Structure 1
C-alpha cells in the first residue's frame, strides 16, 4: 500500500487558495494564512485565515469517518439548539484522501471560558436533542452501535490506578471506596436506553462564549449509538461534575444515568492520569489533572440519593 503523503503548509495553502479563490495580494504572496491546529489527533486539522478550518483525512479509516460525519451533521442539526459546523467545500486533497473546509464557529472553548447557568441549559438542550435524533437514521448513515462499558471492570482498573496515584501523592485512593462492587452493578446500563451520543464532549469541542454560553459542538467523527452516560461523563471532564449532572437532569435524565456518567468520568480520569505518570498516555499532564479535579467535584445527587432496590431512577 502506498504511504499517504504528509500534508504541509504549502499543500494546504495551494488547496485553500483554489477553494477560496483568494488570489495573490500586492506582495505576490498567495492565499490566506494557514497554521496547524495542535489539539486532537486522528486527522490533520488546519486553521485557514480567521474564518475557516480545514480537516484532512490521512488514511482510509479517517476517510470513512469524515464522510460519515458530514452526513451525520446534517441529520443532527435540526434537533440541536447549538451550532454544528457547516462544510463550505469538500473533496479529495490526495488520491483517495478526503478533506472538508468548514466555517469556523465564533467563540472560545470550555477550556477557556467557564460555562454559566445559561450555558448549562445549552448543554441540557444538546443532550435532549441527541435523544431525539432517530437512531435508525443514524445507523443508516453508518454510525456504529457501541456496547455499554462495564463499570465494574472499570472500577477494578481504577482502584489499582488510584494506588499508583496515591504513591505519587496525586490522589487519595480512599475516595474510590465510594464506588463499591454492588453499587457499580446497580449502575449498569439499562437495556433499551441507547441514543445517539457525541462520544467526545471534551472541553475543546464545546464552543463557548465569554459570558458562559455554549454555542456550538465540534468534531462529530466519533459519534455512536450507545450509552448516554458517556456524554454525561464527557461533560463532567469538560465543565465539572455538578454542571454536567445539572445539565443531564434538566435534559430529563434520572439518577441512574447521571451517577453512571459521573463514575465513568471518575474512573477514566484516575486511570488516564496513572497511565500518564507511567508514560503510557500522551495526554497533557496539566489537563489530565484538571479533568481529575473536575470529575471528582462533589455533587448534591450522590449525597442525597439512594437508588431504589427495584432499580428506578426517578425518585430524587
Structure 2
C-alpha cells in the first residue's frame, strides 16, 4: 500500500485556497491549524467556518465517501445537526478529503448536558432506530455482530485486579455483574439498528445551555447493537443521563443495562491498558485524565440497576424486563 504523504500547513492552504477561492492562487488564504492538540495532521480547522478532514489511507477514504451519503440518509430522522460538506474530492491520488461547514457548539467534554439535552439525545437514538436498515446497507454500511458481554466481563475482572494494585479501582464493584447476569443481558436477535458507534464526548456538540446541537464523525457507523450507542453516551455524559435518554427513546431495561455494563467493563479495561507498563507514581496525569473521567461517568449508580435485579436463580430481572420499551 502506498504510504500517504504527511499533510503540511502549506499543503492544506493550497487545497483550501483552490476550493474557497474558485481555484485562484492569489492571497494567503484562510488560517489553517490542526484540530487535535497532539498536532495530528489529518484534520484541520480552516478559518472560523470550516473543517477539513483528510483520509490517510484507502480504508479511511472508503469510510469518508460512505459518510457523505450516510449523513444525507440520517439527517431527516434525527433532531440534531449532522455535518454538511461544502466540497469533497481527493487531496492525494486515491485519498479523499471532505471540507465541512463547522457546526456551532462545544463538545460534551466542555459542557454538561441538561434535561432538555437528554431529550435531544433521546431523539437521536430514536431517529437512528427509524433509519431503514436496507437503505443503510445499500450505502455500504456494514453489519456488526453484538459483542459478548461475558467475554468482556472476564477481561474487565482481570483488568480490575491490575487497577486494584495501582489503587485505581475496587474490583469488588464488578461482582454486581455475574456470569448469569451477563448471559441475561446478551443482545437479542433481530434488534440491529443503525448505530453511530462513536457517541463519545468529542463527537457531541453541546451549547452553553446544555442542548445537544450536533453529532460529528459518522465514519464508524454500523448496523448492530443499539446498546453500543447507550454505552458511548454513558462515557460521554454519564450513565444516568445515558439511561434516561435511552428510556425516553423507548428502550427497555435490558438494552439500557446491557449498554451500562458494556461501558463499565470497557472503561476498566481501557484504563488498565493505559497504565500497563507504567511504574507507580510515573504516570502522566494528563494522559490518564480522560480514561479516569470516563470510568467515573460509567460507574455512576443509577436507579434502574437498583430496581432491576440480575438474579442468580434465573428468575425475574433484566431478562424479564421489557425488551425495547
Query: Per the shorter chain, which TM-score range?
Result: over 0.9
* Corresponding residue for residue 70 of structure 2: 72
* CA apart distance, 1:314: 2.3
* Corresponding residue for residue 12 of structure 1: 12
The superposition leaves residues 2-47 of structure 1 with CA deviations (integer Å, 9 ceiling, x where unpaired) of 322111110000000111118999xx85100100111699981100
| C-alpha contact (below 8 Å) 1:107/1:208 kept by paired residues | yes
Note the 1:1-316 alignment, pairs <5 A: 1-21=1-21, 30-38=28-36, 44-279=42-277, 284-306=287-309, 308=316, 311-314=319-322
* Corresponding residue for residue 313 of structure 2: none
Q: Distance in 1 between matches of 2:289 and 2:264?
A: 16
Total equivalences in the alignment: 313
Q: Which runs of 4+ in 1 moved over 4 A?
A: 22-25, 39-43
| C-alpha contact (below 8 Å) 1:115/1:208 kept by paired residues | yes
The superposition leaves residues 44-69 of structure 1 with CA deviations (integer Å, 9 ceiling, x where unpaired) of 11000110000001111001010011
Q: Distance in 2 between matches of 1:43 and 1:132?
A: 36
* CA apart distance, 1:161: 0.3
| C-alpha contact (below 8 Å) 1:43/1:55 kept by paired residues | no
Tell me the secondary structure at the aligned position of residue 152 of structure 2.
Answer: helix
CA RMSD of aligned residues (A): 2.3
The superposition leaves residues 91-125 of structure 1 with CA deviations (integer Å, 9 ceiling, x where unpaired) of 11111111000000011010000000000000000
* CA apart distance, 1:311: 3.1
Q: Distance in 1 between matches of 2:318 and 2:304?
A: 18
| C-alpha contact (below 8 Å) 1:22/1:30 kept by paired residues | no
| C-alpha contact (below 8 Å) 1:109/1:204 kept by paired residues | yes
Structure 1: give runs of 5+ residues left out of the alignment. Answer: none
TM-score, structure 2 normalization: 0.92
